[in-house]
Chains A and B, each alone.
Chain A
Amino acid sequence: MSTTSTSLPAATPSRTQPKPFRQWVNNNRRALSALMIFVVMLTIFMILSPRVFTNPITYRSIFISLPISLFVVVPLVFIIASGEIDLSFPATAGITSWVFAAAVRDGWDPFTAVIPALLLGILVGVSVGTLVTYVGLSSLVATLGMNFLLRGIINMGTEGIAIQFPQMRELLFWQIFAGRIDNFPWIRGFPIHMLWGLLFVGLGWILFNRHKFGTHVQIVGDNPASAAEMGINVNRVKIRAYIFMGIGATLAGVLSVLVNQNWWPTTGDGLLLPALAAVFVGGTPTWGGIGTVVGSSIGVGIIASIETGIIAAGLTGYVTQFFNGLVIILSLIGQRFNGPRHR
């Protein structure tokens, strides 16, 4: 209790109402830093290769593959805010999109084929969540194992054979979820799935910041003992976060099949490190309890632009990884100034 108020109970002190704008900046520091990093990076690219980075086609090509990452990065923010980690989402995306691809190949309607894929994604989420909570395994090790296990099942089941969909573009499902906008002249060719990705980010923001589930995820990650003392079922919250991860990975896998018009036994594999990097570059801290859906989604944009930027700047592809690393480390140093680590 503050001693000021004890001695002065009658004269209610004029409570400082911080200026709304400053309060808003303070509450969104991490996301704003991610935005700043993104803008600075794009400015540098624009100076280095103005022709490429002022051309809408460049962004269009970035936007074609970027939404796939959004579907895994948003739930990954929940997992990391809950104090855990997930390394199994690449194989989850692979195995669920395999179910989808195989069903469509066998004549299923794609709208129906999504259902078993989603159910499998949920099942993987429940399994991983149970291993991490009730069985008590470390999430780092359990999900690492699960990633190998699921990819192993794919390899045994397919013996490395891909599934191709040359006629994919004719399907209504493809046109709705991965088509191009043709009707508006100034955004002609804009990939529709970018809009679905942004919608997912919006829903993720609401779930994280305005819904009971997201709040409980953050409280559990901040202090599981406190959460339990206040009646939050810690295990159940964590399992739900893994279910959300499973659903996100499924959507990413299915979208990747649509975008590539092909399913490979390696589908999803390439997501692991860029997605994790995007989460942290975007301002979600590693220690749990807090996170930013919007910031980490901007992180996806940062990671996705690096490669394009480097090639466009006339450097060879051999330096991509070096610059990836440089950007990650510099951004994390930048995010370090966003307030002290409280735990």
Chain B
Amino acid sequence: MEQRLVELKEITKSFGNVNALSHVTMHVNKAEIVGLIGDNGAGKSTLIKILSGVHSPDSGELWIRGKCVEGRWTVAKAHTAGIETVHQDRALAVQHTVARNIFMGREITGLFGLIRVKKQYEEAERLMREIGFTSKVFNPDSVVATLSGGERQGVAIARALYFEAELLILDEPTTALSLTETQKVYNFMLAAKEKGSSVLFISHNIFHAYDIADRFVILDRGG
């Protein structure tokens, strides 16, 4: 049997009267690219928010590397487990700098919790250069609100790459991107797989994602 990196068993989640997910079971193996497909409102984003620790499921089990998760699964725990997520809304604070956004919630701190601003700047700069995310018009000190939609998406992806995920989750990574930019995101996904990481990505367009995914999981009205 292939080794399973993460596994969701019988996950159910509702918001008030809305049943977002009912008894969903799925898994992601090591070093594979899985496409999560479903119509609008099928519960795709809810599912990945459970996996990334933003929401807690009402019932069901979450297994990471063959171990069942005990207690509350949080974003911090997901980060420690090597799960990085690029959310659909990019999860950015637009009035703040690129560097601050990359380290959001995981600042590099020294004595007394003081942030090592220079170190963060340098790391952000190195990262942006490494992944070819450079421009004449912005640097790690640029305010995100001054960047274009594609560039903002770039910041969100750069952040996920910085922390070297074992499972990279991308929620609608290519919406609002140009063709070359889309190709670039696909190249990142393939490179991640090459390195032995897994990718779970959401798309509501199966043709779009056909070339790249090893496998698809289809979600239909929460089931």
Mask: chain B, 155-178; 1 = CB below 8 Å from A; 0 = not? 001000000000000000000011
Cβ of A230: which chain B residues have Cβ within 8 Å of it?
Answer: 75, 91, 104-106
Q: Are B100 and A215 in contact (CB under 8 A)?
A: yes
Q: Is B214 an interface residue (CB 8 A)?
A: no
Give every chain B residue within 8 A of A16 (Cβ-Cβ): 136-137, 139
Contacts of A225 in B (CB 8 A): 89, 91
A19, CB-defined interface residue at 8 Å: no
On whether A210 and B114 interact (CB within 8 A), knowing A4-B135, A13-B135, A222-B96, the answer reads: yes
Query: Of A6, A226, A229, A232, which is within 8 A of B180 by CB?
Result: A6
Residues of A within 8 A of B75 (CB): 228-231
Closest B-chain residue to A287, C-beta based?
A: B95
Q: How far is the CB of A12 from chain B (nearest CB, A)?
A: 6
| B85, CB-defined interface residue at 8 Å | yes
Contact B95 A6 (CB under 8 A): no
B122: Cβ under 8 A from any A Cβ: no
Contact mask for chain A residues 209-251; partner B; CB cutoff 8 A; 1 contact, 0 none = 0111101101100110111111110000000000000000000
B191 within 8 A of A: no
- Point out the residues of chain B lying under 8 angstroms from A222, CB to CB: 93-96
A4 lies within 8 A of B93 (CB): no
Q: A226-B89, A342-B145 are in contact. Are A12 and B184 (CB under 8 A)?
A: no
* Chain B 127-157: CB-based contact to A (< 8 A → 1; otherwise 0): 0010011111101010101000011011001
A-side contacts of B154, CB under 8 Å: 1-2
Instruction: Please report the C-alpha to C-alpha distance between residue A143 and residue B108 in the assembled complex, in whole angstroms.
Output: 34
Instruction: List, in ascending order, chain A residues with CB within 8 A of B129's CB.
Output: 12
Residue in chain B with minimal CB distance to A13: B136
Residues of A within 8 Å of B76, CB to CB, are 231
Name B115's contact: one of A17, A211, A223, A228 (CB within 8 Å): A211
Partner of A290, one of B95, B114, B117: B95
Tell me the number of A-to-B contacts counted with CB atoms below 8 Å.
131
A206 to B113, CA, bound (A): 11
| Other-chain residue from A1, A229, A289 in contact with B91 (beta carbon distance below 8 A) | A229
Q: Is A15 a contact of B95 with CB atoms below 8 Å?
A: no
Whether, in the assembled complex, B14 has its beta carbon less than 8 Å from a beta carbon of chain A, the answer is no
Is B61 on the interface with A (CB-CB < 8 A)?
A: no
B114 A227 Cβ-Cβ under 8 A? no
Contacts of B137 in A (CB 8 A): 16
B109 at the interface (CB under 8 A from A): yes
Interface contact A227-B139, CB-CB below 8 Å:
no
B53 interface residue (CB < 8 Å to A)? yes
Contact of A219 with B93 at beta-carbon distance under 8 Å, contacts A2-B151, A213-B113, A231-B74 already known: yes
- The answer to whether B92 has its CB under 8 Å from any CB of chain A is yes
Interface flag for B79 (CB, 8 Å): yes
Measured as residues with beta carbon below 8 angstroms from the partner, the interface class of chain B is 35 or more
Query: Are B150 and A219 in contact (CB-based, < 8 A)?
Result: no
Q: Measured between alpha carbons, how far is A13 from B132 in the docked complex, in Å?
A: 10
Q: Which of B135, B143, B177 has the most CB of A within 10 A?
A: B135
Which residue of B92, B114, B139, B150 is within 8 Å of A211 (Cβ)? Answer: B114
Chain B residue nearest to A219 (CB atoms) is B93
Residues of B within 8 A of A5 (CB): 132-135
Tell me how far the C-beta of A342 lies from the nearest C-beta in chain B, rounded to whole angstroms. 4
In the complex, whether A3 has a CB less than 8 A from a CB of chain B is yes
CA distance A25 to B97 in the complex (A): 15
A15 contacts across to B, CB distance below 8 A: 134-136, 139
Q: Do A231 and B105 have beta carbons less than 8 Å apart?
A: yes
Q: Knowing A15-B136, A231-B53 touch, does A218 contact B150 (C-beta < 8 A)? A: no
Question: Given the complex of chains A and B, what is the CA–CA distance between A16 and B134 in angstroms?
Answer: 11
Is B107 in the interface zone, CB < 8 Å from A?
yes
Q: Bound state CA distance, A226 and B141, in angstroms?
A: 19
Enumerate chain A residues within 8 angstroms of B181, measured Cβ to Cβ: 1, 3, 6
Docked complex Cα distance between A196 and B133 (Å): 46
Cα A16 to Cα B76 with chains together (Å): 35
B93 shortest CB reach to chain A, Å: 4
CA of A228 to CA of B55, assembled, Å: 10
Interface centre among B92, B104, B178 (most CB of A within 10 A): B104
Contact A218 B54 (CB under 8 A): no
Partner of B104, one of A7, A27, A226, A343: A226
A-B contact pairs, 21 of them (CB 8 A): A1-B133, A3-B178, A5-B134, A6-B184, A9-B132, A15-B134, A15-B139, A211-B113, A211-B115, A215-B100, A218-B93, A218-B95, A222-B96, A226-B89, A227-B105, A228-B54, A229-B52, A229-B91, A289-B96, A290-B95, A343-B95
Please name the 4 residue pairs, one residue from A and one from B, whose CB atoms are nearest each other, closest first.
Answer: A231-B75, A222-B93, A230-B105, A342-B145
Given A9-B132, A13-B134, A215-B100, 8 more A-B residue pairs with CB atoms under 8 Å apart are A1-B132, A2-B134, A6-B184, A212-B107, A212-B114, A215-B115, A223-B92, A290-B96
